[in-house]
Structure 1
Amino acid sequence: MNSTSSSGTRPGSTLATSLLAPNPGPMSLEGTNSYLVSAAGSGGSVVVDPGPADEGHLQALASRGPVELILVTHRHADHTAGSLRLHELTGAPVRAADPGHCHGGRPLQDGETILAAGVAIGVLATPGHTSDSVCFHLPDDGPKGSVLTGDTILGRGTTVLDYPDGTLGDYLQTLDRLEALGAATVLPAHGPTLPSLAVVARAYREHRLERLDQIRAALDRLGPDAGVTAVADAVYADVEPHLRRAVEMSVAAQLHYLRRPRL
């Protein structure tokens, strides 16, 4: 652990503010947005995605009032590494879809509604980025509600599918599910807040379908059995070297989707 300080809280919506963790990078953008969710006058808060094991950041989260519950959107370390320490600091249970990331709390279940800090929080299974990804729906957060999307939808750029754990088939179904929530505010784990979940989900789907067309065109040129490296070279020729691993995971996920058995 280190003791780097977090930046101040930023309003994300009526019921949620974010505290930016000091872990910027190519995949985490400015850093992980750890959210504090609470209703006015509730006297407590729910922390969503504690972020990395940075002592200054975790102390800042713990100091924002009594923490009743800690929720995790998915297993990646930039979301989960600090959860056990925050549990130790606050005594609040940690709940995640993956039992391995729960501390003093039970695993999350798709479709359940959690009542904490005066807020109703709906749990949505949203696999694709990872198999254990979940989003949290706050239906009472302003006129359209809001959704904490983890890495399923980002505030800027596109989401990497952590293949083979995350798959494109699952992700496309997830985008359909999120689009159905309408113009809810998007509260992503990386990047800025966005105004309409439905608009963003449609744009993400269009991007994925365009990439699939590019992969099909590459396979027409290279042959149907072309491998990940050759396809990545053909479709993502201008990608920066530090993003190459992410590109190859995305290509692998797309090839798996195109080559999956059809019923």
Structure 2
Amino acid sequence: MSEESPRRTTALTRRLTAPNPGPMTLDGTNSWLIGSPGQQDVVVVDPGPADRGHLTALAAAGRTVLTLVTHRHGDHTGAVADFHALTGAPVRAFLPEFCRDADPLRDGETIEAAGCRIRVLHTPGHTSDSVCFHLPDDAPEGRRPGEGDGSVLTGDTVLGRGTTMLDHPDGALGDYLRSLHRLAVLGRAIVLPAHADVREHVEEVCEELLEHRMDRLAEVREALRVLGRAATLEAITDRIYTDVPPHVLPAARRSVGAQLAYLGF
């Protein structure tokens, strides 16, 4: 069953988690509502899977004036058509096939809606169409907008815990590393991820993720040294991911594939 109502997370955002927990979605997919305090208008980010209860709760939380999508995966876009029909609000995504009555998102543009400024950042890596949404005027809960360092809705580019899967070949490690560097420039902005809980200080989080990716690359290089340059993707993945449950191995293989491509294999 979906949560009954969104939970306040920052001065300008609330979160409603869809009832789709799992190995890849963690606690479920977070739908975000953006809106200035005291306004009925809201922007919804990632309506999530096609769960009627979840969509009803989202629609009841305010007057949706715009829906935004962080990337193409079904746990974020499965409800696009139903939510558009329910609210009539235009939908914008980086890929035109997910847009409804609106143009695709553009890197670097600033959207003004629901009393808020929303800056669009194209951050490929998890997928080629991944975007993040920076709220420069946001603040931690309990502070007035503009009194903090802002927040950033990171989709699956930065998760609330753990590391994201690179959906190779659509997702590329080189792109992902550049996206992390781009997000790190936002400094102490609060991380509002599509899965799991809020994190503090996006610069520190991105530095941890960059270090982790460098460690993984070192492990891939070592696996190639031991197994030989002709080693299969499956053999390399099994050597590196020794404690991963079988149902997560396909995602691990895609990430290893992205690392091998980055190394020129």
Shorter-chain TM-score bucket reads over 0.9
> RMSD in angstroms over aligned alpha carbons?
0.9
- Aligned partner of 1:30: which letter? D
Q: 2:104 aligns with which of 103, 107, 122?
A: 107
Contact 2:6–2:58 (8 Å) recurs in 1: no
Report the Cα distance in structure 2 between the residues aligned to 1:5 and 1:216, rounded to whole angstroms.
44
Question: Cα distance, 1:6 vs. partner?
Answer: 2.9
Q: 2:8 aligns with which of 7, 11, 24?
A: 11
SS at match of 1:67: strand
Count of matched residue positions in the alignment of Structure 1 and Structure 2: 257
Report the Cα distance in structure 1 between the residues aligned to 2:127 and 2:199, rounded to whole angstroms.
22
Contact 1:125–1:134 (8 Å) recurs in 2: yes
Provide runs of 4+ in structure 1 moved above 4 Å: none
Q: 1:187 aligns with which of 178, 186, 192?
A: 192
Write out aligned runs for 1:185-224 (5 A): 185-224=190-229
- Show the counterpart of 1:25: 22
- Show the counterpart of 2:145: none
Question: Could you state the TM-score of these two structures normalised by the residue count of structure 1?
Answer: 0.96
Contact 1:121–1:136 (8 Å) recurs in 2: yes
- Show the counterpart of 2:144: none
| Runs (5+) with no aligned partner, structure 1 | none
Contact 1:7–1:21 (8 Å) recurs in 2: no
**Alignment deviations for residues 160-189 of structure 1 (CA, whole Å, 9 cap, x no partner):** 000000000000000000001101000000
SS at match of 1:200: helix
Percent identity at matched positions? 57
**Alignment deviations for residues 109-141 of structure 1 (CA, whole Å, 9 cap, x no partner):** 000000000000000000000000000000000
- Aligned partner of 2:176: which letter? Y
**Alignment deviations for residues 2-47 of structure 1 (CA, whole Å, 9 cap, x no partner):** xx43343222211000011011100101101100100013320000
Report the Cα distance in structure 2 between the residues aligned to 1:14 and 1:225, rounded to whole angstroms.
53
Write out aligned runs for 1:1-263 (5 A): 4-142=1-139, 143-259=148-264
| Runs (5+) with no aligned partner, structure 2 | 140-147
Report the Cα distance in structure 1 between the residues aligned to 2:226 and 2:126, rounded to whole angstroms.
29
SS at match of 1:214: helix
